[in-house]
């Protein structure tokens, strides 16, 4: 092997790229990560880690610090804005299925920070920031990755394999010509964070709540320092109108009337439901948001991406040690199936339940959720699915 080809390049130092990098380095494979930003993102994005994700992170030595810095949430709820609790799901039922029978509420940057620390300590890992992958060309032996420095100069890196973990607008995906079909959800999601303690103000409130309402559903999520409130918002409004402080205050008052709310962060973002037609393109592989996007209801986007990273690294390690590159086809078959049949299907169903305006259909959804938690076998099956454990078990059967 040419000395420039003795490594894997990862485009993008988000949670998915960094978990892939740590997994490869753990397997003795040298990695270079190219990151466009000058530092890792520390904004408030995903904040839920599901049980099997924590099981994976534990194997990589990344779970302990994260768990210490997060909140363990063994329960999550569906509620109705007027009637209160509809169903409370108990992740404690998963105690025989996972070492982490709870959702961990922790900001995703706490994971990327821990992963970077791990990579900094390893001489076979190199993280280069302020460098943007701009084009990709592969041949029979490797991949040439051209990246632009901040001063406008180009640099060409050579690697044996390239992982495109460069997020929703992935240049790597575009360079491979792989299609990214799907739809854009007809609403903008407004995410607001406040130090207000909803847990102290609403009796029986779980730390993760999906609250349905025929006029305006919303989500309440606790993080270690703040509560997040997520609202769907009319996409025809300008960002300025959506983020207008008076309108935000009105919406916060509609959740719980009281003193004016302190807003620590606010973001409005468009949500897509898309899955790439292919995850494997010769020596180039896609993972995470570069490969699939979904709405955040259920917290499965980042978690699914981390599951991609672990699966991909496992197969690539076998290829690196002499296995046939066709092994990577199984990565694509397994993880595309999960993205379409589990993540998208569940996220769309969660949205449908919250969005439902027909009173009879709303009542039917709510009755179904109540019946599910009242039946131990159905309750266990539901949390196996919503915690993403079932998707990982099912993919073993995918050849
Ligand atoms: C504003 C916002 C809010 C969100 N909120 C939630 C939420 O509430 N719940 C939830 O579950 N999910 C949420 N998400 C989604 C979640 O953050 C993603 O699913 C997760 O970050 C995916 O990780 P990733 O590593 O695949 O991609 P990313 O985290 O996007 O990381 C990609 C990395 O690649 C870098 N990059 C991009 N292009 C290039 C290039 N050409 N060359 C080199 N580097 C490049 C980027 O700078 C970035 O660091 C949110 C996303 C956004 C943007």
CB atoms under 10 Å from CB of 183, counted, come to 10
At 141 the pLDDT is: 93
pLDDT at residue 130 tops 90: yes
At 356 the pLDDT is: 87
**Helix (H, G, I), strand (E, B), or coil: what is residue 310?**
helix
pLDDT at residue 2 tops 60: no
The chain-wide mean pLDDT, for the chain, equals 95
pLDDT at residue 53 tops 90: yes
Q: Are 99 and 58 a contacting pair, CB within 8 Å?
A: yes
Rounded mean pLDDT, 28-57: 95
At 268 the pLDDT is: 93
Q: What is the percentage of the chain residues whose pLDDT exceeds 70?
A: 99
pLDDT at residue 3 tops 80: no
> In sequence order, what DSSP letters do the residues of 244-301 get, joined into one string?
-HHHHHHHHHHHS-SSPPP-SEEEEEEEEEEE-S-SEETTEEE-GGGTEE--STTS-H
Neighbouring residues of 117: CB distance < 8 A, sequence distance ≥ 6:
none
Helix (H) or strand (E) holding 11: strand 8-11
Rounded mean pLDDT, 262-286: 95
Q: 150 C-alpha vs ligand 1 centroid, how far in Å?
A: 21
Q: Are 350 and 185 a contacting pair, CB within 8 Å?
A: no
Distance CA 228, CA 294 (A): 19
Which residue is closest in CA terms to ligand 1's atom 7? 46
At 267 the pLDDT is: 92
Q: Are 77 and 30 a contacting pair, CB within 8 Å?
A: no
Q: 166 C-alpha vs ligand 1 centroid, how far in Å?
A: 8
Which residue is closest in CA terms to ligand 1's atom 2? 45
* Positive/negative CA dihedral, 160, 311, 333, 179: negative
CATH of domain 3-71+104-181+273-356: 3.50.50.60
Q: 15 C-alpha vs ligand 1 centroid, how far in Å?
A: 8
At 297 the pLDDT is: 86
What are 52's two structure tokens? Answer: 């099997």
Kindly compute the dihedral angle of the four CA atoms of residues 243, 249, 255, 261, in this order, to the nearest 10 degrees. 110
313 has which bridge partners? none
Q: 172 C-alpha vs ligand 1 centroid, how far in Å?
A: 14
Q: 14 C-alpha vs ligand 1 centroid, how far in Å?
A: 6
pLDDT at residue 348 tops 90: no
Q: What residue spans define the domains of the chain?
A: 3-71+104-181+273-356
Please report how many Cα atoms fall inside a 13 Å half-sphere around the Cα of residue 88, on the Cβ side.
Answer: 11
Please choose from 12, 155, 163, 171 the residue to mutate so as to test ligand 1's pocket, defined by most ligand atoms within 8 A of CB: 12
pLDDT at residue 1 tops 90: no
pTM of the model: 0.96
Rounded mean pLDDT, 56-84: 96
Q: 108 C-alpha vs ligand 1 centroid, how far in Å?
A: 10
pLDDT at residue 137 tops 60: yes
Name the pLDDT band for 351 (thresholds 50, 70, 90): confident
Which segments within 195-239 are labelled E, that is strand? 208-212, 218-222, 227-233
Rounded mean pLDDT, 44-50: 93
At 344 the pLDDT is: 85
Distance CA 18, CA 77 (A): 31
- Could you identify the atom of ligand 1 that is nearest to the CA of residue 170? 38
Rounded mean pLDDT, 150-166: 96
At 4 the pLDDT is: 62
Neighbouring residues of 53: CB distance < 8 A, sequence distance ≥ 6:
303, 306, 307, 388
Lowest mean pLDDT segment, chosen from 103-112, 148-157, 349-358: 349-358
Please choose from 23, 44, 46 the residue to mutate so as to test ligand 1's pocket, defined by most ligand atoms within 8 A of CB: 46
- Could you identify the atom of ligand 1 that is nearest to the CA of residue 48? 11
Please give all residues whose beta carbon lies within 6 A of any atom in ligand 1, as ranges: 11-17, 34-37, 41, 45-46, 108, 132-133, 165-167, 171, 191, 267, 269, 288-289, 296, 299, 301-302, 305
pLDDT at residue 58 tops 80: yes
Rounded mean pLDDT, 164-180: 98
Q: 190-239: per-residue pLDDT in tens?
A: 999 999 999 999 999 999 999 999 888 999 999 999 999 999 999 899 98
At 112 the pLDDT is: 98
């Amino acid at each position: 092997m040419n000395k420039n080809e003795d490594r894997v390049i990862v485009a993008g130092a988000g949670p998915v790229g960094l978990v892939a990098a740590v997994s490869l380095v753990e397997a003795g494979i040298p990695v270079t990560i190219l990151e466009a930003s000058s530092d890792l993102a520390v904004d408030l994005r995903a904040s839920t880690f599901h049980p099997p994700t924590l099981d994976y992170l534990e194997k990589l030595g990344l779970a302990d610090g994260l768990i210490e810095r997060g909140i363990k949430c063994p329960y999550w709820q569906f509620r109705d804005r007027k009637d209160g609790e509809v169903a409370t799901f108990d992740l404690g039922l998963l105690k025989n299925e996972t070492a982490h029978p709870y959702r961990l509420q922790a900001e995703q940057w706490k994971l990327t920070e821990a992963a970077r620390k791990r990579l900094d300590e390893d001489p076979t890992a190199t993280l280069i920031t302020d460098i943007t992958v701009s084009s990709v060309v592969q041949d029979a032996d490797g991949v040439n990755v051209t990246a632009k420095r901040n001063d406008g100069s180009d640099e060409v890196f050579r690697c044996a394999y390239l992982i495109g973990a460069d997020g929703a607008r992935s240049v790597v995906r575009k360079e491979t010509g792989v299609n990214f079909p799907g739809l854009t959800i007809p609403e903008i999601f407004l995410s607001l964070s406040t130090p207000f303690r909803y847990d102290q103000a609403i009796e029986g409130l779980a730390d993760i709540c999906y609250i349905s309402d025929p006029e305006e559903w919303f989500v309440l999520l606790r993080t270690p320092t703040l509560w997040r409130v997520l609202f769907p918002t009319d996409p025809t409004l300008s960002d300025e109108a959506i983020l207008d402080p008076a309108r935000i205050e009105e919406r916060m008052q509609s959740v719980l009337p009281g003193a004016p709310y302190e807003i620590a962060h606010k973001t409005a973002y468009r949500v897509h439901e898309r899955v790439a037609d292919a995850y494997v393109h010769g020596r180039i592989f896609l993972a995470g948001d570069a490969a699939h996007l979904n709405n955040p209801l259920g917290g499965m986007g980042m978690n699914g991406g981390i599951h991609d990273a672990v699966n991909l690294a496992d197969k690539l390690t076998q290829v690196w040690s002499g296995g046939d590159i066709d092994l990577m086809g199984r990565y694509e078959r397994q993880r595309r199936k999960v993205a379409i049949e589990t993540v998208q299907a569940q996220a769309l169903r969660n949205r449908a339940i919250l969005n439902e305006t027909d009173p009879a259909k709303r009542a039917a959804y709510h009755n179904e959720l109540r019946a599910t938690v009242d039946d131990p076998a159905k309750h266990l099956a539901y949390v196996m699915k919503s915690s993403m454990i079932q998707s990982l078990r099912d993919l073993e059967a995918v050849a």
